[in-house]
């Protein structure tokens, strides 16, 4: 599931027109207060955070909890 979630987050990130390339090795799936987040990172830090809603949709979270950014 984590690989699928990161892949979906990467597709969403690319579709947004972003130019920086995330690193699969640095990107993670995080759980926080009952929510699941895909955190896309590269060597420079966090590029984007997506939150999983329900069981079938993913959206960018422009104000993620600090706990998932660590």
pLDDT of residue 24: 87
| 43 CB-contact burial (10 Å; exposed 0-12 / middle 13-18 / buried 19+) | exposed
Query: Which band of pLDDT confidence, cut at 50, 70 and 90, is reported for residue 70?
Result: confident
In the chain, the number of structural domains is 1
Confidence at 2, pLDDT banded by 50, 70, 90: confident
Helices (H) and strands (E) in the chain, counts: 2, 4
- Identify the residue whose tokens are 């920086």: 20
Phi, psi dihedrals of residue 26, rounded to the nearest 5°: -95, -20
* Domain limits for position 42: 2-69
């Amino acid at each position: 599931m984590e690989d699928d979630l990161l892949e979906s987050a990467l597709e969403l990130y690319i579709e947004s027109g972003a130019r920086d390339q995330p690193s699969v090795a640095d990107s993670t799936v995080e759980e926080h207060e009952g929510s699941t987040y895909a955190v896309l990172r590269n060597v420079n830090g966090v590029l984007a955070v997506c939150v999983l809603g329900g069981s079938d949709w993913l959206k960018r979270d422009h104000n993620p909890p600090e706990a998932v950014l660590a």
